[in-house]
Amino acid sequence: MHLKRISTILYPDQSRVLLRSFSPGGPERIAGIVARIMAFPEDQAGRLLDDICAEFSTRHRRLRSLFLERFDQVRESLPAAEKISEDKRLLIGSYFLAEYSSESAALFNPSIVPHPDQTGLPCGALRFVLSLRATGEGHISSITFRTGIIHPDRRIEVLPASGFITVPRQIPNPLYEKALFARKLSELGLNGEFTRRVMNRLQESFALEDLRAALQAEQFRLPDGMTQEDQSDSQGIWILARSNYEVQFQPEQQLSERILFPATPSQRNGIEDARFVRFRNDDGSHRYYATFTAYDGRVVVPELVETSDFLNFRFITLNGPAAENKGMALFPRKIAGLYAMLSRQDNENIYLMFSDNVHFWNERQALLRPAFPWELVQLGNCGSPIETQAGWLVLSHGVGAMRQYAIGAFLLDRDDPSKVIGRLREPLLKPNENEREGYVPNVVYTCGALVHDGELIVPYGLADHATGFATVPLAEVLAEME
């Protein structure tokens, strides 16, 4: 096969920083810091604020707004105080923020999908969205984006990233569907009397504040206080609700300025390896889904994010006994009226799942097991299946001797993807001498490729550090299948 590596390599850029909350201690220490700031004369506070804004305004958009938002969060933990001037509110907010370099350690494990906006391009060109796993201090991972163009001559251009990076605004009071929420609670074992009473207080769709009110009403209703079981159920209900949320970016923000940073307890230590897919709905419209791994420092949980425009993102838990472990990847359309998903629940083999609801996955069936030397340790998918005339093309990753990762491929029947109809005996891509060194040596890995004009475009991570691109004619890949 004539696989070609292109010269473009995306390296982590430590200068791309976001602002995140900084809490140097508990309420007492926070109150002490605020008291010291309040002791400044107004003119001195104003000069100090001007100096801070002059130093950091070239690194962040809406800096003063971010200072005020952080002040409002800090004020919630402080006792009522005298009227505070705007300069001091801004100054207080600045002391409880810190810069975080989201890709200071790595920028890798990409996936690629067609951009929702294809206007203004010459015939034969394709604009794409590239999602990447950015890893910074503390090995915390997030999802960041780049855009680019595949030109008619098959040249791949990745547009320069903006110098700014901003976390989205969380949409207040997203609505929850009561039936789906109750189904997930039952699956988690939260189906006792306390849970039933809370759910009975809610309408068929409800907001987070409605749930908070229902929980408080039940807590105060109990004359003898809550039992330990009731407290556990209450905490579990609240954690589940907080794990399902929506965020909104501003249209004027370039896509490369947008970052999906961990925001819930299940994501505390990272959002890892997002596999984006452009999904075709029954009515012909499209929606983007991404399965990813949420990591809290101890447990990995598969979750789902969905968007239609890369401005509004909805995060939803994946549910059901088959929704576990890493490597879930959604097919780009329904098959025989059902959603289909690849998975790897046992860390070793690839499985196939079907469901009538994209958020619930109950059963799995074995699809592919390690067979060749380069994949004997572990086999998994490398992103969503790609539909071709010959069948569903799936890129896979295999782990072999010396824990070397390689990228392979196999082919599934279009009408019955439980049938494997082709498989590469040798890797499509494995680390060369220029790709072996990095945060994790001897690894090439991708979370999603695409086919354009007969060419398979594969963005891939290099040694868990940077991102490169490779292309190969689709016909040659299919011809090599056994």
At 401-451, the pLDDT tens digits run 999 999 999 999 999 999 999 999 999 999 999 999 999 999 999 999 999
Residue 327 pLDDT exceeds 70: yes
How many domains does one find in the chain? 3
Report the SS3 class of residue 166: strand
Q: Predicted confidence band at 13 (pLDDT cuts at 50, 70, 90)?
A: very high
pTM value is 0.92
The pLDDT of residue 67 is 97
Range scoring the smallest mean pLDDT among 12-26, 127-141, 228-242, 259-273: 228-242
> Distance between CA 367 and CA 344 in Å, rounded?
10
pLDDT tens for residues 359-373?
A: 999 999 999 999 999
Non-local (6+) Cβ contacts of 181 within 8 A are: 199, 240, 241
Pair (407, 475) in one structural domain: yes
Q: Please compute the mean of the pLDDT values over residues 123-128 and round it to a whole number.
A: 97
Q: Which of 189, 215, 242 is the last residue of a domain?
A: 242
Pair (48, 154) in one structural domain: no
**Cα-based distances in Å from 94 to 23, 85, 186, 327:** 12, 14, 43, 39
CA dihedral 227, 232, 237, 238 (to 10 degrees): 100
Non-local (6+) Cβ contacts of 360 within 8 A are: 183, 318, 319, 320, 323
Pair (386, 352) in one structural domain: yes
The pLDDT of residue 81 is 62
Q: Predicted confidence band at 250 (pLDDT cuts at 50, 70, 90)?
A: very high
Q: Predicted confidence band at 229 (pLDDT cuts at 50, 70, 90)?
A: confident
Pair (415, 428) in one structural domain: yes
Q: How many CB atoms lie within 10 A of CB 295?
A: 21
Contact at 8 Å (CB) between 16 and 10?
no
Pair (36, 94) in one structural domain: yes
The pLDDT of residue 223 is 61
Boundaries of domain holding 222: 176-242
Mean pLDDT (the chain) is 94
Q: Which of 224, 242, 260 is the last residue of a domain?
A: 242
pLDDT tens for residues 170-190?
A: 887 778 999 989 988 988 888
- Residues in the chain, total: 482
Pair (90, 160) in one structural domain: no
Residue 224 pLDDT exceeds 70: no
Pair (258, 349) in one structural domain: yes
> Distance between CA 446 and CA 83 in Å, rounded?
54
Residue 153 pLDDT exceeds 70: yes
Strand partners, 264: none
Looking up residue 273, the CATH number of its domain turns out to be 2.115.10.20
Which amino acid is present at 137? E
The pLDDT of residue 147 is 98
Which amino acid is present at 397? H
> Distance between CA 333 and CA 307 in Å, rounded?
16
Non-local (6+) Cβ contacts of 159 within 8 A are: 146, 147, 148, 149, 256
Contact at 8 Å (CB) between 324 and 351?
no
The pLDDT of residue 240 is 87
Non-local (6+) Cβ contacts of 263 within 8 A are: 170, 245, 247, 315
Longest CA span, the chain? 78
Pair (192, 140) in one structural domain: no
Q: Which of 242, 276, 294 is the last residue of a domain?
A: 242
The pLDDT of residue 329 is 98
Pair (447, 334) in one structural domain: yes
Q: Please compute the mean of the pLDDT values over residues 58-66 and round it to a whole number.
A: 94
Q: What is the DSSP code (8-state) at residue 338?
A: B
For residue 457, the number of C-alpha atoms closer than 13 Å in the C-beta half-sphere is 24
Residue 276 pLDDT exceeds 80: yes
Pair (64, 108) in one structural domain: no
The pLDDT of residue 189 is 85
Which own/partner contact pairs does 67-71 have at CB distance under 8 Å and 24+ positions apart?
Answer: 67/91, 67/93, 67/94, 67/97, 68/93, 69/93, 70/21, 70/94, 70/96, 70/97, 71/96
Residue 222 pLDDT exceeds 70: no
Pair (325, 429) in one structural domain: yes
Pair (375, 465) in one structural domain: yes
| Residue 266 or residue 247, greater confidence | 247
Q: Please compute the mean of the pLDDT values over residues 336-362 and round it to a whole number.
A: 96
